[in-house]
């Protein structure tokens, strides 16, 4: 598949000044990480709600210090710059809401589940999208939040590096045809706008998040900071923590990675 030259207006036309998210859209043809530019804009005092989107992210970051690969012309890599009116302990709600927003925005192409904490996976556990939320604190106050979202849109598995191809897929693979990236982007910005407004109005996405979470009820091996925990993913607390029912009783995991034991893929 040839890579067409990027047309910025396909992305910037989505901007709408009446919105909370996406009142301004900054398109950059190539960038290290959209999260870095979004943070810079916030630190410079620009208005919040700006969405930074690129055609080619060359130094993308994933969670836990991993890299996030997003080649030219294939995928969506974007970051939302926010100064949300919420407490620091509520920041995780934004990552839950972002996961739900991706799920809704891609529904015309694929039915994805959430894998705890905030990956979007196909029915076979292959990863389609990931979310990286980075926060800055002022003493006890949330100064700003960057919500970074990467979605594999038209990246074919045959094009993926070997180490990714076994555990990843894309919307084009699931929909069996090329997907309009700007249509996914427009839908995502609209849903994110609603989700962020809802959180600021005190409406938690947690019940919808639990309903969408494929990790719940499964046998998992979780890489927690204190070592591996094996058992059944039994619950997700109101604070987003995963409760794993082990042979020795329940263990609560607040951060880490979960490996789905039946199906075998990291989700
Ligand atoms: C993960 O699953 O590990 C999170 C991946 C997050 C990737 C996105 S792409 C846009 C934004 N910019 C980055 O550098 N990372 C996030």
Three-state helix/strand/coil letters over the chain:
CCCCCCCCHHHHCCCCCCCCCCCEEEEEEEECCHHHHHHHHHHCCCCCCEEEEEEEEEEEECHHHCEEEECCCCCEEEEEEECCCCCHHHHHHHHHHHHHHHHHHCCCCCCCEEECCCEEECCCCCEEEEEEEEEEEECCEEEEEEEEEEECCCCCHHHCCHHHHCCECCHHHHHCCCCCHHHHHHHHHHHHHHHHHHHHCCCCCHHHHHHHECCCCCEEEEEECCEEEEEEEEEECCCCCEEEEECCEEEEECCCEEEECCCCCEC
Q: Kindly state the average pLDDT of the residues 252-257.
A: 84
SS (H, E, C) 184-246: HHHHHHHHHHHHHHHHHCCCCCHHHHHHHECCCCCEEEEEECCEEEEEEEEEECCCCCEEEEE
Ligand 1 centroid–CA 148 distance in Å is: 5
Residue 258: predicted pLDDT:
83
Condensed to tens digits (0 to 9), the pLDDT of residues 196-228 reads 999 999 999 999 999 999 999 999 998 877 789
Ligand 1 centroid–CA 134 distance in Å is: 10
Condensed to tens digits (0 to 9), the pLDDT of residues 65-114 reads 999 999 999 999 999 999 999 999 999 999 999 999 999 999 999 999 99
What atom of ligand 1 comes closest to residue 127's alpha carbon? 2
Residue 108: predicted pLDDT:
97
Least confident of 40-44, 106-110, 251-255: 251-255
- Whether the pLDDT of residue 131 is over 90: the answer is yes
Kindly report the protein residue whose alpha carbon is nearest to atom 15 of ligand 1. 61
- Whether the pLDDT of residue 8 is over 60: the answer is yes
- Whether the pLDDT of residue 267 is over 60: the answer is no
Condensed to tens digits (0 to 9), the pLDDT of residues 9-21 reads 899 999 999 999 9
Condensed to tens digits (0 to 9), the pLDDT of residues 181-204 reads 999 999 999 999 999 999 999 999
Residue 2: predicted pLDDT:
58
- Whether the pLDDT of residue 1 is over 80: the answer is no
Q: Kindly state the average pLDDT of the residues 48-77.
A: 96
- Whether the pLDDT of residue 253 is over 60: the answer is yes
Residue 3: predicted pLDDT:
61
Pocket of ligand 1 (CB under 6 A): 33-35, 57, 60-63, 66, 68, 70, 77-79, 119, 130-132, 148-150
To test ligand 1's pocket by mutation, which of 61, 64, 129 has the most ligand atoms within 8 angstroms of CB? 61
Residue 95: predicted pLDDT:
96
- Whether the pLDDT of residue 263 is over 70: the answer is no
Contact 97, 199 (CB under 8 A): yes
- Whether the pLDDT of residue 265 is over 60: the answer is no
> What percentage of the chain reaches a pLDDT higher than 90?
87
> What percentage of the chain reaches a pLDDT higher than 70?
96
Residue 266: predicted pLDDT:
44
């Amino acid at each position: 598949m040839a890579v067409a030259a990027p047309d910025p207006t396909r992305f910037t036309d989505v901007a709408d000044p009446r919105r909370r998210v996406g009142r301004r859209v900054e398109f950059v043809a190539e960038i290290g990480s959209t999260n870095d530019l979004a943070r810079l804009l916030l630190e410079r005092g620009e208005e919040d709600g700006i969405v930074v989107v690129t055609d080619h992210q060359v130094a993308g970051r994933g969670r836990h210090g991993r890299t996030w690969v997003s080649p030219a012309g294939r995928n969506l890599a974007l970051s939302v710059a926010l100064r949300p009116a919420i407490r620091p302990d509520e920041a995780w709600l934004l990552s839950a809401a972002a996961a739900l927003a991706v799920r809704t925005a891609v529904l015309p192409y694929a039915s994805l589940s959430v894998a705890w904490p905030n990956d979007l996976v196909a029915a076979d556990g292959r990863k389609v999208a990931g979310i990286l939320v980075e926060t800055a604190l002022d003493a006890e106050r949330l100064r700003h939040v960057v919500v970074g979202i990467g979605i594999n849109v038209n990246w074919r598995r045959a094009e993926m590096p070997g180490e990714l191809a076994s555990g990843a897929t894309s919307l084009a693979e699931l929909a069996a045809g090329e997907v309009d990236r700007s249509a996914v982007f427009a839908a995502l910005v609209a849903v994110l706008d609603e989700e962020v407004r809802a959180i600021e109005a005190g409406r938690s996405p947690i019940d919808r998040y639990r309903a969408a979470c494929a990790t719940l009820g499964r046998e998992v091996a979780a890489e927690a900071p204190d070592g591996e925990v094996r058992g059944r993913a039994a619950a997700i607390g109101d604070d987003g923590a995963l409760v794993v029912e082990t042979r020795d009783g329940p263990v609560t995991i607040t951060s880490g990675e979960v490996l789905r034991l039946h199906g075998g893929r990291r989700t």
